């Protein structure tokens, strides 16, 4: 796995190359699309709202059959009967997917179960208040969704107004959603503090998407500024749930009152009837009057001019974002804008001469050390992400998942201190990754990984006494203890 300018701590947490996440679009984000996005270096969510546990199991198996990387599943409790949601969640927990994303109503109980299973808990929110509540409930990644987003839209606030509010109080990674279909807007979101983006519409209009060709073509033909924010499509969802769609006969009011008690069939998916005013969007598996269905599309629909492969679209977005973030005026260290209030530690500047005289590390020595460890932790995060997938179920998977999350956490900590010292973060991944993954036997690779963890411990023991700053000293001490604990846990697997 290569390291790019876009790579940051959320990538280490998710086990991907780029901070580009496929939104879990219901019906549309099936195994083919999730696999394509994942193989191209992003992270994909299967959109499994109101789907049977059997289909969820099949789709998870299909992704795993195509790729050896992590991915997630998106569920929506508010739009799912309680018994079905329980069965859906149980299927995800049993399969030990990489992440589960929840949307709409906050379910603290579900978040706890997800986290207790060692799975990343992700929440999509539409307001700063929702973001704060989700964090308190245990969300490990937040998706801040602006009103420009396609599909179901939780809030009423513009993304560019909402995002800074969410980031300001976030102690977990934040992904931006809504109005992002190219690298320019991804770079804009990252400059404003987002760690990356959750993208839907741009991936809906790809070859691997499970959306019907009619829907894809309507996205391509869409003009800027023509999408509609409406509650007309409501069957299967709580009343008053707004969506953003492309204009059609329903949004033009040609079918009368959407909330009439009469139900008119307009399509079929197997034996299932698709009703007028339903939240169902046209899928490959459907027949019927597609024009009158919910043609989901975000405000960025007007920027999409062709149906291409998901991999090509992702690589184009990534390349555009990297170019934008390379512009001189962009301060994008670690992919996150540095808050004006976050100044460098004074002991590492004004008293640098005294530090050297008294045996403390200078700023240059600290930056060199931080980058050395950052490259090593990136390598560790990638190794453990791969080993988590290969471990299957059982103790080895649990340990590797925990170690991978710790490695990602320490990457974020190291990046924080590089930013505070106004240094330049290394974009590289340590050579340890290639060396470790070249070892075919799992146990031998685990032993090699432990030796690498031991190297980090030695480095921290050497440097920590030379650190004057109390906060940095505390972070290094915690990192040291974490590595010692993980070494002991891995040793138990080897005995």
DSSP bridge partners of 45: 72
Torsion of CA 192, 197, 203, 209, to 10 degrees: -170
Please, is 123 exposed, middle or buried when counting C-beta atoms within 10 Å of its C-beta (0-12, 13-18, 19+)? Answer: buried
User: Tens of pLDDT along the chain (495 residues)?
Assistant: 445 678 888 998 898 999 999 999 999 999 999 999 999 999 999 999 999 999 999 999 999 999 988 899 999 999 999 999 999 999 999 999 999 999 998 999 999 999 988 899 999 999 999 999 999 999 999 999 999 999 999 999 999 999 999 999 888 899 999 989 999 999 999 999 999 999 999 999 999 999 999 999 999 999 999 999 999 999 989 888 999 999 999 999 999 999 988 899 999 999 999 999 999 999 999 999 999 999 999 999 999 999 999 999 999 999 999 999 887 654 443 444 444 334 344 444 445 545 554 678 999 999 999 999 999 998 898 888 878 878 876 788 889 888 988 888 898 889 889 888 988 888 788 888 889 989 989 999 999 999 999 999 999 999 999 999 999 999 999 999 999 999 999 999 988
DSSP bridge partners of 151: 244
Torsion of CA 12, 171, 159, 48, to 10 degrees: 60
Count, residues in the chain: 495
pTM of the model: 0.78
- Kindly state the DSSP code that residue 210 receives in the 8-state scheme: -
For 338-494, the fitting CATH number among 1.20.1260.10, 1.10.1840.10, 1.10.10.60, 1.10.287.3510 is: 1.20.1260.10
Asked if CATH classification 3.20.20.70 holds for the domain at 1-336, the reply, yes or no, is yes
- So where are the chain's domains? 1-336, 338-494
């Amino acid at each position: 796995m290569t390291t790019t300018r876009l790579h940051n701590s959320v990538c280490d947490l998710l086990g991907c190359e780029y901070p580009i996440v496929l939104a879990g679009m219901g019906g549309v984000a099936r195994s083919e699309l999730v696999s394509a996005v994942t193989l191209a270096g992003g992270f994909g969510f299967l959109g499994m709202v109101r789907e049977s546990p059997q289909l969820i199991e099949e789709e998870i198996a299909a992704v795993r059959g195509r790729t050896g990387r992590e991915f997630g599943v998106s569920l929506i409790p508010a739009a799912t009967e309680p018994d079905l949601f329980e069965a859906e969640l149980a299927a995800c927990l049993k399969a030990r997917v990489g992440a589960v994303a929840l949307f709409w109503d906050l379910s603290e109980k579900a978040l706890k179960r997800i986290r207790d299973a060692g799975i990343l808990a992700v929440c999509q929110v539409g307001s700063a208040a929702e973001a704060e509540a989700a964090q308190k409930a245990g969300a490990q990644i937040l998706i801040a969704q602006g009103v420009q987003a396609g599909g179901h839209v939780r809030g009423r606030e513009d993304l560019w107004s909402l995002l800074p509010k969410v980031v300001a109080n976030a102690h977990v990674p934040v992904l931006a959603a809504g109005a992002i279909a190219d690298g320019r807007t991804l770079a804009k979101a990252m400059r404003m503090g987002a760690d990356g983006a959750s993208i839907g519409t741009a991936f809906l209009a790809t070859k691997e998407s499970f959306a019907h060709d009619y829907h894809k073509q309507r996205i391509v033909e869409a003009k800027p500024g023509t999408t509609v924010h409406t509650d007309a499509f409501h069957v299967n969802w709580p009343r008053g749930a707004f969506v953003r769609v492309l204009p059609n006969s329903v949004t033009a009011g040609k079918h009368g009152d959407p909330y009439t008690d009469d139900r008119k069939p307009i399509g079929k998916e197997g034996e299932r009837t698709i009703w007028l005013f339903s939240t169902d969007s046209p899928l490959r598996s459907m027949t019927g009057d597609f024009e009158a269905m919910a043609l989901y599309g975000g405000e960025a629909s007007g920027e999409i001019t062709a149906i291409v492969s998901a991999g090509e679209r992702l690589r184009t977005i990534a390349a555009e974002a990297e170019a934008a973030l390379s512009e001189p005026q962009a301060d994008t260290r670690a992919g996150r804008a540095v808050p004006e209030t976050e100044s460098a530690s004074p002991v590492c500047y004004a008293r640098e001469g005294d530090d050297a005289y008294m045996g403390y590390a200078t700023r240059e020595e600290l930056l060199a050390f931080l980058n050395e460890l950052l490259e090593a932790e990136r390598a560790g995060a990638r190794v453990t992400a791969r080993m988590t997938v290969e471990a299957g179920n059982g103790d080895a998977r649990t340990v590797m998942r925990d170690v991978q999350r710790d490695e990602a956490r320490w990457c974020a900590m190291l990046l924080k201190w590089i930013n505070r010292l106004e240094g330049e973060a290394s974009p590289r991944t340590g050579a340890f990754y290639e060396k470790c993954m070249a070892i075919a036997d799992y146990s031998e690779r685990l032993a090699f990984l432990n030796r690498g963890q031991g190297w980090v411990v030695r480095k921290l023991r050497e440097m920590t006494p030379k650190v004057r700053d109390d906060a940095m000293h505390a972070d290094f001490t915690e990192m040291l203890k974490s590595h010692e604990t993980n070494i002991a846990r891995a040793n138990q697997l080897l005995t």
